[in-house]
Amino acid sequence: MSATTIIVNGARRTVPGGWSVANLLAEEGIVPERVAVEVNREILDRRQFSTHLLQPDDDVEIITFVGGGSSGFGES
């Protein structure tokens, strides 16, 4: 298959044609359960990661959840 150029978090990137969001996450070493993914300003359900195929010029945003630390509430 031919290559596809997409935008990932603002940077142009070339990936193999026919790649899914799951392929992209795996290539980046990203655990799917720890991120939200938006393609062309639409949030994908995690169940769509393996079936949503990336298209030329798709704008992909990968948002990582950050946990831990303290909120400052109720602490003295």
Summarised one tens digit per residue, pLDDT across range 40-57 is 999 999 999 999 999 999
Of 10, 22, 25, 27, which is closest to residue 64 (Cα–Cα)?
Answer: 25
Does residue 25 surpass a pLDDT of 80? Answer: yes
Share of the chain above pLDDT 70, in %: 87
Using DSSP, state whether 74 is helix, strand or coil: coil
pTM of the model: 0.83
